């Protein structure tokens, strides 16, 4: 395995932060709007340039995202920073367009069972919703990102055939979508499945830009990132501190952790534009906000070459 990039252009990796949407959405207590904005602004200060910042969903369905309009109005907008929002339907798309999001995100599960559980409708009906969202986005000049949930496995059906994934990707491509995200919603991805899925999409839709979204449910989230890097994937979605996880997937745990991902990328010779020490500080702040331990590891251990005073270490006696 040779991961060290051969040229400067190939060294750049885009990290898309999903914590304030995918992460905060899973918390039982409402995170105040100023706190969400504080976290977003701090991550922008740390060099994060791409976010799935919030979600324009029904507040009855997802109370944590009831302040999407306010979050988008208050977050600092900077040149070169992409603020995306999840939109499940036409009403959400209209609200997102009015809030001037930089990109709308739709998602459909490759598994019929998970789509019914997560979106309460069959895949066909979800794709009709995506078509409506795409039309609203085009009229507003806002591009659409198409996410495929359960792209690497379903907790209800097991293996998800690649053809099921390609069905969703083909529908997105037919609507003019050029950005695709493959979601490991339940943490069932393996490097072998990542290789097969990416190869199948590239073979049929070579014009599409692919991002990967992994969970660390079974402890190999970063191994899957390495597989993606070897395939030439240069965008990964992650969550600060590893916060979040699909509430509609039995046993699913959080997303891969942003600061752990950044540490891995930097140590492998890639460039993210993110200040790791600042990201670690934000992760610790998020842990304070949610009031429970988060699974991030680099936020505790620090970078590999961080120095510690000898006097700070307890010495063996005897």
Q: How big is the chain by its Cα radius of gyration, in Å? A: 19
How many C-beta atoms surround the C-beta of residue 56 within 10 A? 25
Which residue in the list 154, 246, 257, 268 is annotated as catalytic? Answer: 246
Q: How far apart are CA 41 and CA 140, in angstroms?
A: 25
Q: How far apart are CA 134 and CA 97, in angstroms?
A: 11
Helices and strands (H and E) in the chain: how many: 11, 8
Q: How far apart are CA 50 and CA 80, in angstroms?
A: 9
Name residue 205's beta-bridge partners. Answer: none
Contact between 243 and 254 under an 8 Å Cβ cutoff? The reply is yes
Q: Is 246 a known active-site residue? A: yes
Contact between 54 and 92 under an 8 Å Cβ cutoff? The reply is no
Residues with a known catalytic role: 246
């Amino acid at each position: 395995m040779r991961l060290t990039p051969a040229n400067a252009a190939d060294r750049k990796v885009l990290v898309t932060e999903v914590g304030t949407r995918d992460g905060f959405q899973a918390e039982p207590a409402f995170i105040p709007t100023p706190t969400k904005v504080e976290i977003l602004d701090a991550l922008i200060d740390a060099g994060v340039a791409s976010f799935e910042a919030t979600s324009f969903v029904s507040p009855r369905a997802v109370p944590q995202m009831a302040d999407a309009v306010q979050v988008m109005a208050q977050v600092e907008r900077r040149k070169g920073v992409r603020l995306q929002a999840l939109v499940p339907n036409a009403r959400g798309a209209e609200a997102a367009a009015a809030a001037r999001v930089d990109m709308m995100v739709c998602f459909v599960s490759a598994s019929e069972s998970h789509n019914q559980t997560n979106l309460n409708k069959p895949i066909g009906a979800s794709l009709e919703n995506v078509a409506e969202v795409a039309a609203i986005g085009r009229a507003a000049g806002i591009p659409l990102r198409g996410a495929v949930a359960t792209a690497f496995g379903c907790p209800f059906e097991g293996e998800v055939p690649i053809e099921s994934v390609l069905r969703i990707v083909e529908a997105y491509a037919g609507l003019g979508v050029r950005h695709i995200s493959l979601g490991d919603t339940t943490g069932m991805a393996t490097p072998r499945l990542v290789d097969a899925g990416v190869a199948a999409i590239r073979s049929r839709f070579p014009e599409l830009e692919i991002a990967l979204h992994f969970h660390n449910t079974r402890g190999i989230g970063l191994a899957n990132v390495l597989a993606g890097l070897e395939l030439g994937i240069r965008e990964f979605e992650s969550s600060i501190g590893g916060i979040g996880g699909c509430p509609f997937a039995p046993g699913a745990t959080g997303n891969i952790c942003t600061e752990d991902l950044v540490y891995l990328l930097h140590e492998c010779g890639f460039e993210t534009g993110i200040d790791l020490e600042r990201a670690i500080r934000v992760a610790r702040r998020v842990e304070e906000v949610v009031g429970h331990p988060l699974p991030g590891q680099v936020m505790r251990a620090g970078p590999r070459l961080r120095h510690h005073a000898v006097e700070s270490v307890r010495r063996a006696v005897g």
